[in-house]
Chain A
Amino acid sequence: MNKLWLVGILEAGLLMSQRPINTVLFPDRDRAQEITYLIKSDSIPARFGFGRVATSTEIARLDIDIRPDGKGLPAGEGKPVAGKVIFAQKCAACHGVGGVGGPNGSLVTTTDPTKKRPEKTIGNYWPYATTIFDYIRRAMPFSEPGSLTDAEVYNLTAYLLNANGIIDDKAVVNAKTLPNVVMPAQQLFVPDDRKGGPEIK
């Protein structure tokens, strides 16, 4: 079979990947010609220059995440007694008095003998204390997200840790102490190590 190979190379002298070879069949009266274009997309620039540089104020306004090492925690502090009052006002309707029961689930671990399995809560399931601050500040109270001050969130975090028996009544929660709180469930967490294949795991 007669083949006519046409190789068109676009060489723009920049970098990046090679596009796949496109094969096009042209029906010809006498013979089928297979024309292959090698599209070498060397023409992708290192940068397109779209968008604009983000200012540090812009980033600070959005950057609300807290890491387990405490990175991101704001100034201020909280105590269980103060958190207890706020919880009763702003949270108990959905999460139960003292954080137990309630239509949107318990936040405090109890051992209810009538239940087959204990409810998964902060005390028995959450691996990092910093997540409590991060989550409450970003998403709670459900009906009024983003309405709490940092001080309120610190107090609520202190209260929930104390109610779960993890820190004592007098403990102070702040950017220094919170990352050091060791959660009971932390040692239970393992990353997924499955890679496919026949094993059921």
Chain B
Amino acid sequence: MSKRIEAIDLNVYYGNFLAVEGVNINIEPRSVTAFIGPSGCGKTTFLRTINRMHEVLPGARAEGRLLLDGEDVYATGVDPVTVRTQVGMVFQRPNPFPTMSIRDNILAGHKLNGARMSRSEADGIVEKSLRGANLWNEVKDRLDKPGSGLSGGQQQRLCIARSIAVEPDVILMDEPCSALDPISTLAIEDLINELKNEFTVVIVTHNMQQAARVADKTAFFNIAGTGKPGKLIEYDETSVIFNNPANKQTEDYVSGRFG
């Protein structure tokens, strides 16, 4: 399954501070969308509103509408936990659970929720998710070893495997490669290309080449100055954003003439 994401006039606040203002965006299912923009323009903030992780922080809230296949995530009575089971997230720094083995990390989404499953069923999920994250061959002989014993790149793929194990519709990735070497980065980019066959993938990146390599569409966010809210400036096909952007700010940013 894979779902369409639509934001309509979305404002995101930290307490009284308006961090992101008036986002309107329409993200196709089964596609990869990249968010680019200078530091502090609200890419992470907006990304975290999509699976309602934003409100985990004290005082943080969002206004406006955010639709998953037409259903408003912020409608009254919606349980954020339900939203998060449908929208998975991979963080900037790999964060496998240190107390769990590789296997248990993959099964965390099920086990932590108290789901009971047979051994063979669990093995199936573990293998499928690890294969999906291109990690199976590297770890299949040490599934019972702690996840924190893997290399950084492997840990990040483990985290991706962990989030696809619960079969979400959307996967959000916040700079998933920023702590990784070029080889691991390539492995994850390949993986993102495969993931879009099943999921809607949204990725935040500071690496323009990466955006150009993996994304079908790219959204450029910008900020007018410190203390001002970040805004979605331009959203289009990746090739258009990088070669022929409509907006002057976008052109300056992608050509490196920013600031």
A and B held together in a complex: no
Which residues of A approach B to under 8 Å, CB–CB? none
Taking Cβ atoms with an 8 Å cutoff, the residues of B that contact A are none
